[in-house]
Amino acid sequence: MGKSPQEGTDIKQKMSKLKRHPRLAEHLLKIIFRREEQSEKLGDFEEGFQYELMTKGPFKAFLWYWSQVLKVIPLSIKNFFYWSFAMLKNYLKIAFRHIRRHKAYSILNIIGLALGMACCILILFWVQDELSTDKFHEKIDSLYVVRNIQHYGSETEEGMGSVPAIGPALKAEYPEIINTARFNNGQGEFLFTSGETKFKELIQMADPEIFQIFTFPLIQGRIEDLFSGPNVLVLSESVADKYFGRDNPVGKTLTINEEYDFKVVGVMKDIPHNSTIRFSVWIPLEFANTVWRPGYTETWYNLAFRTYAEVDQNFNLESFNKKIANRIRESRPETNSEPFLYPFSQVYLQVWGRIGQIRIFTIIAFLILIIACINFMNLTTARSSQRSREVGLRKVVGARRTQVTKQFFGESVLFTFISLITALILVRLLMPFFRTLTGKPLYFLSLVNGQIILGILAVTVLTGIIAGIYPAVFLSSFRPAAVLKGKGISGKKGDLFRKILVVVQFSLSVMLIIGTLVIFNQVKYIKNKNLGFDKEHLLYIRVEGNLKKSYASMKHELLQDPGIKNISLASHSPTGIYNNGQDWDWEGRDPNINPLVTYFGVDPDFPETFQMEITQGESFRKGTENSGSNVLINERFAEIMGLDNIIGARLSQGELALQVIGVVKDFHFTPVYREIGPLLLYHNPQMREYNYMFIRLNPGDIPGALASIKEAAKKFNPEFPFEYRFLDQDYDRLYRGLEREMGIVRTFTFLAIVISCLGLFGLASFTAEQRTKEIGIRKVLGASVTKIIFMLSKEYAKWVLIANVIAWPVAYFLMHNWLSDFPYRIPLSWTIFLGTALLSLFIAQITVTFQALKAAHSDPVDSLRYE
């Protein structure tokens, strides 16, 4: 189709008059075709367009051009995939070859990353479980807790308790409240009898409405029957299984404490572990009116209840709380309580303060992941110089920089995916161990859901990209000519970068170590803090059944046993005193002070049995000559009263008048991480509300003493099975949660350090390898092994020290914050920081020395022949 030059000029003239081809379509072509092809292809399109223009006119030509361009697209896509697939195959082949050739390094790299990811996944499982607490209730978003603000003069205190009358009142008076339900605080252990079956279980008293507003499904029985009177009960599935096996317990009658008959009306599914409300036997709250006193559940005072409310869609929290602020005052003008609603979904996180721990754990998870990523980056860049020739060659045969970048990103993502698979296997294997560590029934398969899978995949790809950034950018910047000439790359910049990474990594590890040490010491301090009494060799049994009447004789008989030192009776166990009240008055009281005082009913032997110190005045007198109005107070209460002469001071609450006869040294009747509050020890000779008998044993023959206690219990209280507990076990139980978290933190810190060391190990071996020749020459010239080890390790020591200096202020700030939540805490001493520095130096040194030794001991002849 050759055209003469004459024709060409004609076309040129026509061209100037006519429209040109579509610009946008041309741009599309430029994207589709590589630059080398553009001249040919665009020329063809142009020529075809001009031909169409002449023969068919501008509009048809325009359409023609576009249709031709669009028809090219499928072809180009096909080609793109063909070529990228070919390259991908090549990249994969090279990557796997690389892994195979450097087995040790690759395994180190993959294991390090896998370990980091496994830790991260495990911790995130824990976090997910914590966040899921209470979320299993179907109505969770419309559930609120009726809480209470107490005004003590200028001070206020927010509590979870509420007065019993507020719940029904809210339901009756406000249309936006659909339903309310009350729990009685605390659960009591009672004896159940059904024919031959006898067992002890904790009982929860609550309104039957709890089965309507919460998701506690019944598997036997009908919900209507729960409302049929005060003498019905519901058992949990496991309790029913334990005592009735396959028999359906519904319809059976159980006798509680040999006194009250209850009909089993339902069996409920066991409450899941992630619930803040837990109980296994339910009886109606109404029963309290029968057993304690009539009208117990209808008063406008007594905060020993928790009230929950279900609201409708029109509910507005803020305006509602304004409306009800005065509700208690309307019915009881002298009150200092104000009710307010609080979202139930926030109770675990905010009121129980779990959000702090969850944050700490999430931070630890990501710190570990960052440390692992840094490892990966370090090892990859360190090895990169070995790939400089490959990159050079790729570039020579036409690879563009973006292709090399993509290759290394791809390789890095490939590595992370191999690590992910390893990590998942690790997680699966570590699950049983993790269950004991956390005390949570976490199972791998039940934790894996769509969200988590997406999250893990996202984290993996992100890790791959973050870890790949430096190798990708650094390696792709190689100049092929220089690299192929064998000049290598000037490692200076890479070196510095690697060192900075090592410093960052070690700073993070140092922070974790300091954090762990501080937490460890604080937990140890709390556990071993002097409680204010001697908790060793102190056991207790419950005063119940016949013992309620005959405890005095039993006490008298037991004291004859030489293995038993003292015996005292008390209303509560010191780890669980729920009895408290306000509105105490004394001479010279600042009207703004109205403390919440805890009451502890004891017999005269109590201070002696607990080996408590009386700091002022005197203890109760022995025998029966005590007056019921004589009380002991603790130092904290004495401090609040602020009287010069506390002994003989008169205390009154309404019609009740008491006299202080002595002050006991403060002792912890709440967990040590709470502040000791004011306490009042009273002894009433006519009192019949002793629930516990405390027995202090002589350290000698403990089994013998236990045997005689058991015998006495059988004799005085034959109906009840004999059970006893040591008080120190109870105290240990208080700190079990804290210790568990301590265990988790410690384990993961240890793993973080291991991961850091893996990275350092790889890096040190790489440096040693790079300096093989230098070491050989030094040895030939007479350097000793020690000198070479020193030379190789001093550099790392320097960087580890710098890491310490960076980490200290951050760790100090963070841990100072953490400690400030504890009223009784350890000082942040410099020894912890110094100790951490030494520890980190030591660990780094061991890691490096191992490699240095290998390098220093190698035969100089071999090393000089190296390469």
* Cβ 568 vs Cβ 610: under 8 Å: yes
Does 200 help bind another protein (rule: CB under 8 A)?
no
Q: How far is the CB of 88 from another protein (least distance, A)?
A: 19
Nearer to another protein, 83 or 578 (CB): 83
Nearer to another protein, 18 or 864 (CB): 18
Does 729 help bind another protein (rule: CB under 8 A)?
no
Does 50 help bind another protein (rule: CB under 8 A)?
yes
Q: How far is the CB of 40 from another protein (least distance, A)?
A: 4
Rounded Cα–Cα distance for residues 337 and 325 (Å): 9
Nearer to another protein, 34 or 621 (CB): 34
Nearer to another protein, 39 or 530 (CB): 39
* Cβ 365 vs Cβ 747: under 8 Å: no
Q: How far is the CB of 66 from another protein (least distance, A)?
A: 12
Q: How far is the CB of 404 from another protein (least distance, A)?
A: 25
Nearer to another protein, 42 or 596 (CB): 42
Nearer to another protein, 42 or 223 (CB): 42
Which one among 17, 71, 103, 688 touches another protein, defined by CB under 8 A?
71
Q: How far is the CB of 80 from another protein (least distance, A)?
A: 13
State the binding string over 777-796 for another protein (x if CB under 8 A, else -).
--------------------
Question: In angstroms, what CA-CA distances link 731 with 580, 600, 703, 820?
Answer: 21, 18, 22, 22
Q: Which two tokens stand for residue 598?
A: 């805890």
Pairing relationship of beta strands 656-664 and 630-634 according to DSSP bridges:
parallel
Which one among 18, 22, 28, 46 touches another protein, defined by CB under 8 A?
46
Cβ-based neighbour number of residue 190 at 10 Å = 19
Closest CA to 19 of 67, 65, 72: 65
Q: How far is the CB of 28 from another protein (least distance, A)?
A: 13
State the binding string over 75-114 for another protein (x if CB under 8 A, else -).
x---x-----------------------------------
Burial of 482 (0-12, 13-18, 19+ CB in 10 A): middle
Question: In angstroms, what CA-CA distances link 272 with 121, 129, 138, 205, 836?
Answer: 22, 11, 14, 19, 41
- Terminal-to-terminal C-alpha distance of the chain: 62
Nearer to another protein, 26 or 701 (CB): 26
Does 18 help bind another protein (rule: CB under 8 A)?
no
Nearer to another protein, 67 or 729 (CB): 67
Q: Please calculate the CA angle 525-526-527 and round it to the nearest 5 degrees.
A: 95
Burial of 448 (0-12, 13-18, 19+ CB in 10 A): middle
Does 398 help bind another protein (rule: CB under 8 A)?
no
Rounded Cα–Cα distance for residues 441 and 105 (Å): 37
User: DSSP characters for 77-94?
Assistant: HHHHHHHHHHHHHHHHHH
Does 42 help bind another protein (rule: CB under 8 A)?
yes
- 650 forms beta bridges with 659
The alpha helices in 771-829, defined as continuous H runs, are: 772-780, 785-819
* Span near another protein by CB under 8 A; candidates 44-52, 174-182, 491-499, 789-797: 44-52
Rounded Cα–Cα distance for residues 161 and 582 (Å): 14
Handedness of CA 793, 796, 801, 807 (dihedral sign): negative
Burial of 181 (0-12, 13-18, 19+ CB in 10 A): buried
SS3 content of the chain, % helix, strand, coil (to 5): 55, 15, 30
Q: Which two tokens stand for residue 617?
A: 């005045």
Q: How far is the CB of 130 from another protein (least distance, A)?
A: 59
Nearer to another protein, 53 or 832 (CB): 53
Nearer to another protein, 68 or 345 (CB): 68
Nearer to another protein, 21 or 182 (CB): 21
Which one among 27, 34, 47, 715 touches another protein, defined by CB under 8 A?
47
**CA-CA-CA-CA dihedral for 233, 239, 243, 245, to nearest 10:** 110
By rule CB under 8 A, what count of residues binds another protein?
A: 27
Which one among 27, 56, 60, 67 touches another protein, defined by CB under 8 A?
67
Does 11 help bind another protein (rule: CB under 8 A)?
yes
Which one among 6, 8, 35, 654 touches another protein, defined by CB under 8 A?
8
Q: Which of the 8 DSSP states describes residue 1? A: -
Does 72 help bind another protein (rule: CB under 8 A)?
yes
Does 48 help bind another protein (rule: CB under 8 A)?
yes
Residues ≥6 apart with Cβ < 8 Å to 294: none
For tokens 């109404």, the residue is 286
Rounded Cα–Cα distance for residues 431 and 122 (Å): 8
Nearer to another protein, 44 or 330 (CB): 44
Q: How far is the CB of 397 from another protein (least distance, A)?
A: 17
If phi > 0 it is left, if psi is from -120 to 50 it is alpha, else beta; for residue 673 that is alpha
Q: How far is the CB of 86 from another protein (least distance, A)?
A: 12
Nearer to another protein, 28 or 647 (CB): 28
Q: Which two tokens stand for residue 698?
A: 């002589």
Residues ≥6 apart with Cβ < 8 Å to 625: none
- 631 forms beta bridges with 660, 682
Cβ-based neighbour number of residue 158 at 10 Å = 12
Does 821 help bind another protein (rule: CB under 8 A)?
no
* Span near another protein by CB under 8 A; candidates 7-15, 407-415, 585-593, 704-712: 7-15
Nearer to another protein, 37 or 821 (CB): 37
Does 43 help bind another protein (rule: CB under 8 A)?
yes
3-class secondary structure, 208: coil
Does 492 help bind another protein (rule: CB under 8 A)?
no
Which one among 3, 30, 56, 60 touches another protein, defined by CB under 8 A?
3
**CA-CA-CA-CA dihedral for 259, 261, 266, 270, to nearest 10:** 10
Q: How far is the CB of 396 from another protein (least distance, A)?
A: 22
Closest CA to 382 of 765, 702, 15: 765
Q: How far is the CB of 55 from another protein (least distance, A)?
A: 12
Nearer to another protein, 39 or 402 (CB): 39
Helix (H) or strand (E) holding 238: helix 237-244
State the binding string over 22-41 for another protein (x if CB under 8 A, else -).
-----------------xxx
Which one among 28, 68, 131, 710 touches another protein, defined by CB under 8 A?
68
Does 129 help bind another protein (rule: CB under 8 A)?
no
Nearer to another protein, 11 or 355 (CB): 11
Q: Which residues bind another protein (CB under 8 A)?
A: 1-3, 8-9, 11-12, 15, 39-48, 50-51, 67-68, 71-72, 74-75, 79
